[in-house]
Structure 1
């Protein structure tokens, strides 16, 4: 472990010093806007501090939970930040189309980037033959969390297929146990955890090509394949035998608290589907739990054997607005394994993108295994709702999930989303 940590620190130092020559004077500054707050902001500040120490550049970070609105205001006023943490690829494409983002092909060594990054990540950051965003970390979403001690005590096995998953759920119910804990509440963003479920199911039933068609609205929301994904989710989320507290609790439980029922004595539920970032919530709410021993995860099993087991995820993405030497230096730094090791080592629940990241930076064997799984995934797809126009992805889709779980007719829900999608896509907008 000491050897691994020494390598981590060495790579960080080399990465930062490679950009030190760009500091032209001690009073050079760089402005960055992002959504991070709390622990994540503290972690990103460590990334900034390392860069500042090596270069002498003063980095000023501005955090906001309403980044799209504030960024639009700043762009209109002519004083945007130099660098921005982009909410999603859809937002990146809109800003690039409007000419606000710098093509990073002019900034980064593309040969090095292709060696360090999988092609999927380069494609996700590209628009019209240009590269306008780089990813610094990811959240793997296709994960089911469980309590290993309770699984062993009850004789429950990890399912490898959806048929085995269904048998496990029925076995749990027969023993008087509740299979799932689900929480869809997230303030104004309520519903998004349900969209992740449906996206994962779409990938596992219809496959990645149809998934892409759905995201791009090349097939309608009323398509039978979309309806099937909702129905599979509904068989769980709308069933009081399968979910802790039934649909009422599903709608009212905050996503950050939804894993808690797995760790009560006795457990109120036995499984929770959520992204890798949930480890932060689990340990904050249950500080005595040990990763891998008291909580663990497995990949959501395949449903259609022909499709296999794709990985769904989201990621932290950075774009450059002002082309300055300081901004160029920081973007090169962010793409390096050193910067990403500082970030993921400090935040604790993120997976790095650069393939040269030393796995010893991860806080546990559990996170190492998740990182390996992401690297080895044959198929990766970005969170679909984040790629859709805002009116659809974070509007009608989020609300449609809440309405469906609340008991509304599925055909009516899908018809409404389709009507919103018709207007949003036909208008040519990419994020609203």
Structure 2
């Protein structure tokens, strides 16, 4: 039903006249984030139609299967783009951006594919925790009662839990093993993966059934029209990426961040890496207007404007760091050459593996005392069933340039 609903609106009719067709864009931003993004687009003078949805995968798949994909698709990760690239559906970007301005892991390579099939437009720092200014952070490690948590999402419920497991594995095992696991070179039943998952399940088991049900039913953005989870309940610390400030509304100035490594269950750990994510743009259409729009979006000027007005961070090393204490803290971590950056593991996995990951997360929240290994064996079966034709990614961890 979701496929039928989403396919029947938005991009199916590109709009505009035959003399001046509009560039069709599919992206993950809605609400205030969509408003800030379209403000940037409006300044280009290029006619466009933008559809924002949390269900980018489902919408894009429906459009591709209908033979009418958007000119530009912006996805929160490259796992799906690799599959489309292997099918020959993406056009090369060529000189539409300066590749020298992007280092590892912002330009992960896919075996056997060209290295200019996508470009990151927006970056986010993970491996951080938020707390309220003026209130001391909870003890290290923080108990379940201190954590704000919600697994709900319009598109892929469960991913906030995958961030926990990814962060735990990164801080416990280090970037090298994390990268092997993310790219399918380390089995889901390996000791390091079992340990990370068991650690998180142990945190969840501290709570009652009612607490875990609330975690399952809560949206990770907090109640609609509210100020996020951090300012909407009795919890004191939240494990979310740098994008979380947009959920805090007029209270975002009271949000303070710290490295999550000291607060994670089983810790405190030393910071062995920073998990990051990005939204990558790819060209499904080859028209001149679409290419011009990608060039403008990836430009230093547009990236700086979007950051200044929209509060986002850029993966482009040529874009100046923004002012503000939180902005400085995020930027310093994104550019610290002493600590590796690692792309969100679920974002680089094949879509089917990622979905199995999210499902196992939700089951673990509901039943944290059940054996972890059985869940991981189920995900491994999905991974083993992936076609050998899907190229594997490399370079998902690296030190910023």
Q: Distance in 1 between matches of 2:81 and 2:155?
A: 22
Unaligned 5+ segments in structure 2 are 1-18, 394-401
**Radius of gyration: which is bigger?**
1
Distance 1:428 1:239, change over 3 A: same
Matches within 5 A, 1:208-219: 208-219=175-186
Matching residue within 214, 217, 235 for 1:249: 214
Per the alignment, in what secondary structure is the counterpart of residue 194 of structure 2? helix
Distance 1:73 1:406, change over 3 A: closer
Distance 1:79 1:253, change over 3 A: closer
Per the alignment, in what secondary structure is the counterpart of residue 276 of structure 2? strand
Shift of 1:328: 2.4
Per the alignment, in what secondary structure is the counterpart of residue 305 of structure 2? helix
Matches within 5 A, 1:56-71: 57-71=46-60
> How many aligned positions are there?
367
Matching residue within 355, 362, 365 for 1:405: 365
Matching residue within 299, 303, 314 for 2:277: 314
* Higher mean C-alpha deviation, range 89-98 or range 404-413: 404-413
Distance 1:108 1:261, change over 3 A: closer
Unaligned 5+ segments in structure 1 are 1-25, 158-163
Deviations 1:33-57 (A, max 9, x none): 22322222211211211111xxxx3
Q: Is the 8 A contact 1:94 1:430 kept in 2?
A: no
**RMSD between aligned residues:** 3.2
Matches within 5 A, 1:304-383: 308-348=271-311, 350-360=312-322, 364-376=324-336, 378-383=339-344
Q: Which has the higher helix share?
A: 1
Shift of 1:186: 2.5
Q: Is the 8 A contact 1:204 1:304 kept in 2?
A: no
* Higher mean C-alpha deviation, range 91-100 or range 419-428: 419-428
Q: Distance in 2 between matches of 1:125 and 1:43?
A: 31
Q: Distance in 1 between matches of 2:267 and 2:43?
A: 46
Q: Is the 8 A contact 1:125 1:135 kept in 2?
A: no
Q: Give the structure 1 partner of residue 169 of structure 2.
A: 202
Distance 1:48 1:216, change over 3 A: same
Q: Distance in 2 between matches of 1:124 and 1:299?
A: 28
Q: Distance in 1 between matches of 2:326 and 2:210?
A: 29
Deviations 1:386-429 (A, max 9, x none): 21122221x22111112122223212222222222222355748
Shift of 1:248: 2.8
Deviations 1:349-397 (A, max 9, x none): x21122222334x5x321232122212253111111121122221x221
Deviations 1:103-137 (A, max 9, x none): 223x336xx430x2223212358962431000111
Matching residue within 355, 377, 390 for 1:415: 377
Distance 1:61 1:341, change over 3 A: same
Per the alignment, in what secondary structure is the counterpart of residue 257 of structure 1? coil
Q: Is the 8 A contact 1:340 1:352 kept in 2?
A: yes
Q: Is the 8 A contact 1:89 1:125 kept in 2?
A: no
Matched, 1:165 2:140: yes
Q: TM-score, normalised by structure 1?
A: 0.75
Matches within 5 A, 1:141-290: 141-151=126-136, 165-166=140-141, 169=142, 178-186=145-153, 189-240=156-207, 246-257=211-222, 262-263=230-231, 268-283=234-249, 287=250, 289=251
Q: Distance in 1 between matches of 2:111 and 2:120?
A: 11
Shift of 1:82: 2.3
Shift of 1:198: 0.3
